[in-house]
Amino acid sequence: RTEFALKEIMSSGGAEDDIPQAERKTVTDFCYLLDKSKQLFNGLRDLPQYGQKQWQSYFGRTFDVYTKLWKFQQQHRQVLDNRYGLKRWQIGEIASKIGQLYYHYYLRTSETSYLNEAFSFYSAIRQRSYYSQVNKEDRPELVVKKLRYYARFIVVCLLLNKMDVVKDLVKELSDEIEDYTHRFNTEDQVEWNLVLQEVAAFIEADPVMVLNDDNTIVITSNRLSETGAPLLEQGMIVGQLALADALIIGNCNNQVKFSELTIDMFRMLQALEREPMNLASQMNKPGMQESTEKPARRENPHKYLLYKPTFSQLYTFLAASFKELPANSVLLIYLSATGVFPSGRSDSEGPYDFGGVLTNSNRDVINGDAIHKRNQSYKEMHCLHPGDLYPFTRKPLFIIVDSSNSVAYKNFTNLFGQPLVCLLSPTAYPKALQDQSQRGSLFTLFLNNPLMAFLFVSGLSSMRRGLWEKCQEYLRKINRDIAQLLTHSRSIDQSFLQFFGDEFLRLLLTRFIFCSATMRMHKIFRETRNYPESYPQLPRDETVENPHLQKHILELASILDVRNVFLENTLDDY
């Protein structure tokens, strides 16, 4: 392929003999690097999606070749322009591939700093207008490359909470799609318009706006910051377990999504990450690391993001995570999925008798479905039952279930004596809040951004920045007090304390208790199915119904002038 390209280039650039040897070598080397980079990039698709070791050396080689290619075209731009006919969109294509590499490296490692690197390459393409000439060429496939670049750039900006950039990109993408469909009369117009609709809905999913004095929207980040998790008191006895791996599973029907992220998955993944740091000052580029060096301690737990997985996909990733879990580490499973309820009556009360949450059905099990409908005594096949997770309780397991059938996981049994906690969402919400489900679950919002969730259930839809910051400060105080309630409790199950040494899990537990206490005090949350639950059960009087905590919640409501939404004398109501 390279030889053919060379002959083509050389003959078009004038008589072959006229070209100096050095310039000929430059073009040859460039063609070699370009071919090699494409070959390695395409090979990334064949790497297994799970398992953390197999892919690293391959990624390293791919990065090395792209780094060489990028530097090479910078150093020899003049020769490549004259002799190869290098076009600006081709440079853009290389930059776009490097951006994709960084993004995929982020997905593989959960190191948020790589998102910044992806952003800088994608930004350069836009600032330097690498793709601007594409529209002048009569090649629809080149325009599609440009549109895909926009979609990828939007995903990275969403993950970095750069909402102002997202809005600009959406406008540009909209114009590009209009121009593309007008010029080429293509069939994929509907698909591209759907992309626009999805991202617009994603941007508007937050139910509360925080506003500056000039009414511009404040962008709030919900990743773990230095002051995020409540600190442990001196002498507090908690476990030394660390959250090492997480499966984030999204399988809700009709929830806002973009790319392969539902809004619930998007919120939860940010709750399991620290704020990104500047990569240049922090660590080497991927693949630039000497093999003798040990990689730096990973700051974020490793994550798998699974959008609408089948049962076999889910189980494969779960088994891979379980297998690679280091000693003294925790595996977290987050399930945001439609509830699946048992179809027939069962006399027993085992781990397969209460249903569970939906897994995706593939066409290849149609026969199984047919049998299933004939016999009501069979269990639901496209469903993750509590019993399916039993084998994995041989290691410390932290489960969060956000579903209309989350209570199925209340019937858990700790078979192996390892730390095990399940945090379970309400199975129904008051009617006034139900129409919000498309914009993400209230329970997950509490775990990701408790103040926004609190404002939402209090009927507020916007807030000034100063008041928001004052409330955030007060919420940090509430979190510190919840941490003390948990660690001072005499009757709490030890599993909670064994997970409490990890910052991410500590924050999730304190937010869970804040969520539960808020809902129990709220005037419209009056049915037991409106409240979160947990396995093992928390001692209510020491945690979610503690008078000290209830007083704090009323204080927060007073700061916001929404005290009338909550019951004053909640203790008398039980």
Task: Give me the CATH number covering residue 151.
Answer: 1.20.190
Which DSSP helix (H) or strand (E) runs through 334? strand 329-337
Q: What is the pLDDT of residues 27-78, one digit of tens each?
A: 999 999 999 999 999 998 888 888 767 788 888 999 999 999 999 999 999 9
Model confidence band, residue 345 (pLDDT cutoffs 50, 70, 90): low
Distance CA 159, CA 167 (A): 14
Q: What is the pLDDT of residue 4?
A: 46
Asked if pLDDT for residue 240 goes beyond 90, the answer is no
226 domain-assigned? no
Task: Look up residue 108 and give its two tokens.
Answer: 């593989």
183 and 329, same domain (yes or no): no
Same domain, 310 and 439: yes
Residue at 146 is within a domain: yes
Least Cα distance to 319 among 395, 223, 230 occurs for 395
Distances (CA, A) of 387 to 199, 250, 346, 407: 37, 20, 15, 13
Residues 179 and 75 in one domain: yes
Q: Is residue 212 part of a domain?
A: no
Query: CA–CA separation, 155 vs 120, rounded Å?
Result: 14
How far is Cα 65 from Cα 81, in angstroms, rounded to an integer?
Answer: 21
Whole domain around residue 79: which residue ranges? 19-207
Q: Look at residue 370 and tell me if it is in a domain.
A: no
Looking at 186, 207, 228, which one is the last position of a domain? Answer: 207
The number of distinct structural domains making up the chain is 2
Taking residues 167-178, report their average pLDDT.
Answer: 93
Question: Which pLDDT score is estimated for 459?
Answer: 93
Residue 329: partners with Cβ closer than 8 Å, 6 or more residues away: 241, 242, 243, 244, 245, 395, 396
> 319 and 193, same structural domain?
no
Q: Average pLDDT for residues 190-199, to the nearest whole number?
A: 91
153 and 53 co-located in one domain: yes
61 located within any domain: yes
Residues 160 and 252 reside in one and the same domain: no
pLDDT of residue 343: 76
Mean residue pLDDT of the chain comes to 86
Distances (CA, A) of 367 to 310, 352, 388, 409: 16, 21, 22, 28
Distances (CA, A) of 137 to 144, 192, 316: 12, 20, 45
Q: Could you tell me if residue 440 is left (phi over 0), alpha (psi between -120 and 50 degrees) or otherwise beta?
A: left
Q: Are strands 302-307 and 383-384 parallel, antiparallel or unpaired?
A: unpaired
**Measured in whole angstroms, how far is the alpha carbon of residue 327 from the centre of its chain?**
25
Q: For residues 458 and 452, what is the distance between their CA atoms, to the nearest angstrom?
A: 10
Quote the pLDDT of residue 238. Answer: 75
Alpha carbon distance 132, 451 (integer Å)? 43
Specify the pLDDT at position 16: 53
The whole-angstrom separation of Cα 76 and Cα 89 is: 17
Token digits of residue 221:
């980040």
174, pLDDT greater than 90: yes
Q: Can you tell me the distance from the alpha carbon of 31 to that of 35, in angstroms, rounded to the nearest whole number?
A: 6
> Higher model confidence: residue 410 or residue 436?
410
Same domain? For 306 and 431 the reply is: yes
Dist. CA 314–CA 319, nearest whole Å: 9
Give the integer Cα–Cα distance in Å for 369 and 373. 6
For residue 265, pLDDT over 70 is answered with yes
Mark which of 207, 234, 265 sits at the end of a domain. 207
Do 202 and 271 share a structural domain?
A: no
Structure tokens that stand for 143 in this block: 């325009």
Tokens 């050389």 -> residue: 10
Instruction: Give the pLDDT score at 468.
Output: 95
Burial of 517: CB neighbours in 10 Å, binned 0-12, 13-18, 19+: buried
The reply to whether 91 falls in a domain is: yes
Distance CA 125, CA 131 (A): 7
What's the DSSP call for residue 217? B
pLDDT in tens, 354-380: 889 999 887 444 444 434 444 566 888
Average pLDDT on 142-149 reads: 93
Residue 299 has pLDDT above 80, yes or no: no
SS (H, E, C) 29-67: HHHHHHHHHHHHHHHHHHCCCCCCCCCHHHHHHHHHHHH
Q: 179 and 273 share a domain? A: no
Per-residue pLDDT, 284? 43
The three-state secondary structure class of 422 is strand
The Cα–Cα gap between 62 and 514 comes to 46
How far is Cα 461 from Cα 233, in angstroms, rounded to an integer? Answer: 36
Listed residues 182, 207, 232: the one ending a domain = 207
Cβ proximity of 147 and 192 under 8 Å: yes
SS3 526: coil
**Side chain identity at 262, as an amino acid letter?**
T
Angle between helical axes of 163-184 and 189-203 (0-180°, round to 10): 170
Q: Do 198 and 305 sit in the same domain of this protein?
A: no
Cβ atoms of 162 and 202 closer than 8 Å: no
Q: Is residue 247 part of a domain?
A: yes
Contact 397, 403 (CB under 8 A): no
Instruction: Round to whole Å and give the CA distance between 240 and 328.
Output: 7
Hey, what are 231's tokens? 């600190």
302 membership: H or E segment, kind and range: strand 302-307
Question: Is the same domain home to 256 and 404?
Answer: yes
| Residue 574 maps to a domain | no
The pLDDT-based confidence of 288 (bands split at 50, 70, 90) is very low
The CATH number given to whatever domain includes residue 519 is: 3.40.50
Predicted structure pTM score: 0.90
Residue 350 pLDDT? 83
Say yes or no: 254 and 201 in one domain. no
Read off the pLDDT of each residue in 76-94 and give the average, rounded to a whole number: 91
Burial status of residue 333 (CB atoms within 10 A of its CB: 0-12, 13-18, 19 or more): buried
φ, ψ of residue 105 in degrees (nearest 5): -65, -40
CB atoms inside a 10 Å sphere around CB 25: 11
